[in-house]
Structure 1
Amino acid sequence: MSRPLRLLTLGHSYVVGTNRRLADAMAQAGAGWWEVTVAAPESFPGDLGPIRLAGFPGERPRLEPVAVHGAGRIHTMRYGSRLRTLLREGWDAVHCWEEPFIAAGAQVAAWTPREARLVYATFQNLPKRYPPPFGWMERYAMRRAAGWIAFGATVHATLRGRPIYRDRPHRVISPGVDVARFRPDAEARDRVRAGLGWAAEGPPVIGYLGRFVPEKGIALLLRALADVRHPWRVLFVGGGPMEGELRAWAAGQGGRARVVTGVRHEDVPAHLNAMDLLCAPSQTTVRWREQLGRMLLEAMACGVPVTGSDSGEIPHVLGDAGVVVPEADGAAWTREIGRLLADSDARATLAARGLARVQAEFALPVVARRHLEFFEELVRG
């Protein structure tokens, strides 16, 4: 019997256990076929302080802590020498969850032995040209790469025409969602609503999950809600610089608005279940458009109907399982929110479609197999 293929998957995002669920799913899907190891920072700066690397119960891959330097600025972050040593351990494939145009991505290209198939994963969905030295790093890393993974259709559309990407094997594969953790849960819905001081039954709850920043469309959502005539409650979950503005607005809503910050990721499924409709009104800027909308996948997995703007990847994530609204059309947002609040059957239909779409396209076992199949194609030549 031939030996299992050996995969090293690495990235600074892996310091958070939730982000390692993809690697864990690859280890499960590849049992007896792939041997998976994860390299993750020992510590990484977070919004509320340093995040320390810790395993989670039942985590399958071998977990290797590595040092990072200069992590406060991601473009110039560098890995310590432990990763260089680890990369010499005879891997068949190295999966780098770092952008190829940053210093850490170029480091991995320089340190990965030639016999290993190096694959980058990228979220870059804007047609950028990077100044020196970052453009040089990108070209160097992609010349070394055996292939690349686009984390979405807009990423693929943006990069596929550039020679350094076009001439390398590539696939469009989502990071996916853990459907064992994100699932419909009526008990959690009632518990969270009670904790917010709301009755389990009552006006539908509109939800927002994510960063409190202008490009996420919060101001547009507040304007749209002012004109919705159907009764509603609204729950904002997240954090960011617009928190003060949101809290001031919520204070004038007579108890029908709540702003919740500091929610641990393991508590996100319960808060999603407390919503009857998730709104993702992301707004494209010169420097940003929605790259994935992880909250869309998580909400659909929880059986929550979703309406999102047409910014970036959102229409590709939703397909026919959600309502897509022109991102800058406030009147359309008011109209669609009001229509869905008034029509529980339409919400139920969207919820069912969302669950089916997630199970077929975005569940971690599905995307894990797609990753491993691509890696094997590259290894087998």
Structure 2
Amino acid sequence: MNRRLAHEMSRVGGGSWEVVAAAPKYFDGSDLRPVRLELRADEPCRVVPLNAYFTRRPHLFLYGRQLRSLLREGWDAVHAWEEPYILAGGEVAWWTPRDSALVFRTAQSINKTYPLPFSLVERYAMHKAAGWICSGSLVEQTLSARRGYDKPRARIPLGVDTEAFRPDPEAGRNVLQKLGWAGGAPVIGYLGRFVPDKGLNLLTAALDEVPGEWRALFVGAGPSESQLREWASKYGDRVRICTDVTHDFVPAYLNAMTVLCAPSQTMPNWKEQFGRMVVESFAAGVPFIGSDSGEIPFVVRDSGLIVGEKDVAGWARAIGELIASPGQRRVLADKGLQRTRDEFAWPVVARQYLNFFERVLAEKRN
């Protein structure tokens, strides 16, 4: 699912573009579960497994010499889905031939001062780059004024797999049955990491104030799990915390939710850079409530509800009103599905990527 951009670029650009995806064979990550590269027999593009080292530290991890060999195959464009200030981003820049147009994808919505060696890595990588892509207006605004980013740029949203994320009531009912929740009260959902940045404390405080019958489903993992389970213990069967849901089963769990909540919180060193869960809920036809942190309001627009990131009473009120109004839920679901078709489906997003690469190549040749 995480290779869908490469897949769709290969399909959309068939005959004009040869697309290759290079990915780590194994990535440990920090607060996420380890990921092993799984190859499929029907990959629409060539996939090159790469050794990667020190992956417990995303800022410090590095690729091996296989990447250097791949980058020397004579590519017109190299798209680095790595930040330009991390060591792997600098490594990609170092090994990309000057004849190739190097384009970074970045998600930095806060203008940060990086310590050595990261500041030097960023300076070198952006000097080498022919352009950059971001997914949010705040990221574009922040970085366009930053030294070294005066290059061609494009704001292109994250995509969503509409074959996987789609309205599927039967899949939702199966999940509810598995949870022992067949029928009954509406389900208030959360999907993402269990960390303070994602606002779990606000959401649980708001749920304490939501009147009537409701159930809550938390899907994810992270260091705040024990705190979340302590809160859930007072609600017994009304709350489920699922930490073993793999990515391919997320759409079914999303379809089990009456509404999806994303109460992200702005932190000194982080604010929501896009919100993949927003477009996944849109694609599944699940009404969405999000905080006003970072990019969320700009992604949601009028296709969901936005509540202040510190407004516990406002969150309780929004949740209560939405689960009590099937009509409003239908309106929001329809708007989200239309936005998905127009803006977030992978073929639409892939075409924007290829258009930008073509623009960068034309400017490089001139």
* TM-score tier (shorter): over 0.9
Q: Give the match's secondary structure for 1:252.
A: coil
Return the match for 1:184 from 167, 170, 192.
167
Cα distance in 2, alignment partners of residues 48 and 140 from structure 1: 29
Determine the structure 2 residue equivalent to 1:210. Answer: 192
Query: Alpha-carbon deviation of 1:58?
Result: 2.3
Cα distance in 1, alignment partners of residues 324 and 217 from structure 2: 18
Q: Give the match's secondary structure for 1:340.
A: helix
Determine the structure 1 residue equivalent to 2:145. Answer: 161
Return the match for 1:26 from 9, 29, 50.
9
- Counterpart of 2:191, as a letter, is L
Query: Alpha-carbon deviation of 1:52?
Result: 2.3
Query: Alpha-carbon deviation of 1:33?
Result: 1.2
Determine the structure 1 residue equivalent to 2:275. Answer: 293
Cα distance in 2, alignment partners of residues 216 and 107 from structure 1: 31
Structure 1 unaligned blocks of 5 or more:
1-17
Q: Give the match's secondary structure for 1:76.
A: coil
Determine the structure 1 residue equivalent to 2:254. Answer: 272
- Counterpart of 1:233, as a letter, is R
Q: Is the 8 A contact 2:32 2:222 kept in 1?
A: no
Give TM-score, length-normalised by structure 2: 0.96
Q: Give the match's secondary structure for 2:2.
A: helix
Query: Alpha-carbon deviation of 1:41?
Result: 1.1
Q: Is the 8 A contact 1:230 1:342 kept in 2?
A: no
Query: Alpha-carbon deviation of 1:320?
Result: 0.9
Q: Is the 8 A contact 1:178 1:364 kept in 2?
A: yes
* 1:349 has 2:331 as partner: yes
Structure 2 unaligned blocks of 5 or more:
none
Determine the structure 2 residue equivalent to 1:119. Answer: 103
Q: Give the match's secondary structure for 1:255.
A: helix
Cα distance in 2, alignment partners of residues 227 and 198 from structure 1: 22
Cα distance in 2, alignment partners of residues 254 and 108 from structure 1: 50
Q: Is the 8 A contact 1:207 1:275 kept in 2?
A: yes
Cα distance in 2, alignment partners of residues 273 and 176 from structure 1: 19
Return the match for 2:81 from 73, 83, 97.
97
Query: Alpha-carbon deviation of 1:49?
Result: 6.4
Determine the structure 2 residue equivalent to 1:52. Answer: 36
- Counterpart of 2:189, as a letter, is G
Give identity over the alignment, percent. 54
1:201-240 matches, cutoff 5 A: 201-240=183-222
- Counterpart of 2:154, as a letter, is R
Q: Is the 8 A contact 2:32 2:221 kept in 1?
A: no
Determine the structure 2 residue equivalent to 1:14. Answer: none
Q: Is the 8 A contact 2:6 2:21 kept in 1?
A: yes
Query: Alpha-carbon deviation of 1:140?
Result: 0.6
Cα distance in 2, alignment partners of residues 66 and 228 from structure 1: 49
Query: Alpha-carbon deviation of 1:339?
Result: 0.9
Cα distance in 2, alignment partners of residues 48 and 109 from structure 1: 26
Determine the structure 2 residue equivalent to 1:170. Answer: 153
Q: Give the match's secondary structure for 1:74.
A: coil
Cα distance in 1, alignment partners of residues 94 and 332 from structure 2: 47
- Counterpart of 1:93, as a letter, is A
Determine the structure 2 residue equivalent to 1:146. Answer: 130
Q: Give the match's secondary structure for 2:88.
A: helix
Query: Alpha-carbon deviation of 1:251?
Result: 2.4
Cα distance in 2, alignment partners of residues 354 and 334 from structure 1: 22
Cα distance in 1, alignment partners of residues 4 and 87 from structure 2: 25
Q: Residues 57 and 253 (structure 1 numbering): CA distance in 2 closer, same or farther, change over 3 Å?
A: farther
Q: Give the match's secondary structure for 1:349.
A: helix
Q: Give the match's secondary structure for 1:181.
A: coil
Q: Give the match's secondary structure for 1:34.
A: coil
The count of aligned residue pairs is 362
Query: Alpha-carbon deviation of 1:57?
Result: 4.8
Query: Alpha-carbon deviation of 1:230?
Result: 3.1
Q: Give the match's secondary structure for 2:10.
A: helix
Cα distance in 1, alignment partners of residues 295 and 243 from structure 2: 26
Deviations 1:7-55 (A, max 9, x none): xxxxxxxxxxx21111111111111111100111122215686532221
* 1:375 has 2:357 as partner: yes
Determine the structure 1 residue equivalent to 2:312. Answer: 330
Determine the structure 2 residue equivalent to 1:284. Answer: 266
Higher mean C-alpha displacement, 204-213 vs 40-49: 40-49
Determine the structure 2 residue equivalent to 1:251. Answer: 233
